[in-house]
Chains A and B, each alone.
Chain A
């Protein structure tokens, strides 16, 4: 199993550009989530999904969209990038909503200039 994979590893965007961060898992996990990590802030939940076709907002959803058309994939879209979205983004998955052991991807480091 590859586990949780994320692409790209690094990305530089200009203010106003859009892009999609990709996340995929091959463990047939129902629950997937996106976090952003900023220095001194820990990880903050952006969006999550409890299964295909179901998504919900986390703590910091503004400026981000998600969709979940398959169990495997959970892309995160930045509609109009802003410097405040410069961060490291982590995708995670777990077997279901109550299993709690979340498996994290390696992260995407995004810089918005």
Chain B
């Protein structure tokens, strides 16, 4: 069965510092992986997705993530944090492989950015 673990429910960084949000997955089939962002009182917005093409995936707002099969990880990074990056971030894995479409979400990591 597929599952997602996000390490750290809260991460705090200074403006301009590296952002690293960790996600590990478990999947019995080649996974499709996603990062979503949720700003306060809003719905979720897709940041980036891995669907078995390039292992380094670039997303919106300067974020990227690298799929590492050997580590079953899909960590999200951004070289320099901006105040506007403060939000909650969710990692998700598809269920059942390529034909299902349902997503399993991690519990989320809330990112705070200090001036």
- B78 is an interface residue with CB less than 8 A from chain A: no
Query: Considering only CB atoms and an 8 Å cut-off, how many residues of chain A contact the other chain?
Result: 27
Instruction: Report the separation of the CA atoms of residues A43 and B34 in the bound assembly, to the nearest whole angstrom.
Output: 13
Instruction: Report the separation of the CA atoms of residues A58 and B111 in the bound assembly, to the nearest whole angstrom.
Output: 28
Instruction: Report whether A45 and B49 are in contact in the complex, using a CB–CB cutoff of 8 Å.
Output: no
Instruction: Report whether B43 and A98 are in contact in the complex, using a CB–CB cutoff of 8 Å.
Output: no
Query: Considering only CB atoms and an 8 Å cut-off, how many residues of chain B contact the other chain?
Result: 25
Instruction: Report the separation of the CA atoms of residues A102 and B105 in the bound assembly, to the nearest whole angstrom.
Output: 13
Instruction: Report the separation of the CA atoms of residues A113 and B98 in the bound assembly, to the nearest whole angstrom.
Output: 41
Q: B43's closest neighbor in chain A, by CB?
A: A104
Describe B's contact surface by its main secondary structure: loop
Instruction: Report the separation of the CA atoms of residues A49 and B61 in the bound assembly, to the nearest whole angstrom.
Output: 31
Minimum CB–CB distance for A91 against chain B, Å: 9
Q: A59's closest neighbor in chain B, by CB?
A: B104
8 A/B residue pairs, CB under 8 Å, sorted by A: A41-B107, A42-B107, A45-B102, A45-B103, A97-B100, A100-B34, A100-B101, A104-B36
- B72 is an interface residue with CB less than 8 A from chain A: no
Minimum CB–CB distance for A112 against chain B, Å: 20
Q: Which residues of A contact B45 (CB under 8 A)?
A: 104
Which of B43, B90, B94, B98 has most chain A Cβ within 10 Å?
B43
Q: Which residues of A contact B100 (CB under 8 A)?
A: 97-98
Interface residues of B in 36-50 (CB under 8 A from A): 36, 41-46, 49
Instruction: Report the separation of the CA atoms of residues A104 and B45 in the bound assembly, to the nearest whole angstrom.
Output: 7
Instruction: Report whether B98 and A105 are in contact in the complex, using a CB–CB cutoff of 8 Å.
Output: no
- B70 is an interface residue with CB less than 8 A from chain A: no
Instruction: Report whether A43 and B90 are in contact in the complex, using a CB–CB cutoff of 8 Å.
Output: yes
- B55 is an interface residue with CB less than 8 A from chain A: no
Of the residues A43, A50, A105, contact of B101 by C-beta under 8 Å: A50
Q: Which residues of B contact A58 (CB under 8 A)?
A: 102
- B99 is an interface residue with CB less than 8 A from chain A: yes
Instruction: Report whether A42 and B106 are in contact in the complex, using a CB–CB cutoff of 8 Å.
Output: yes
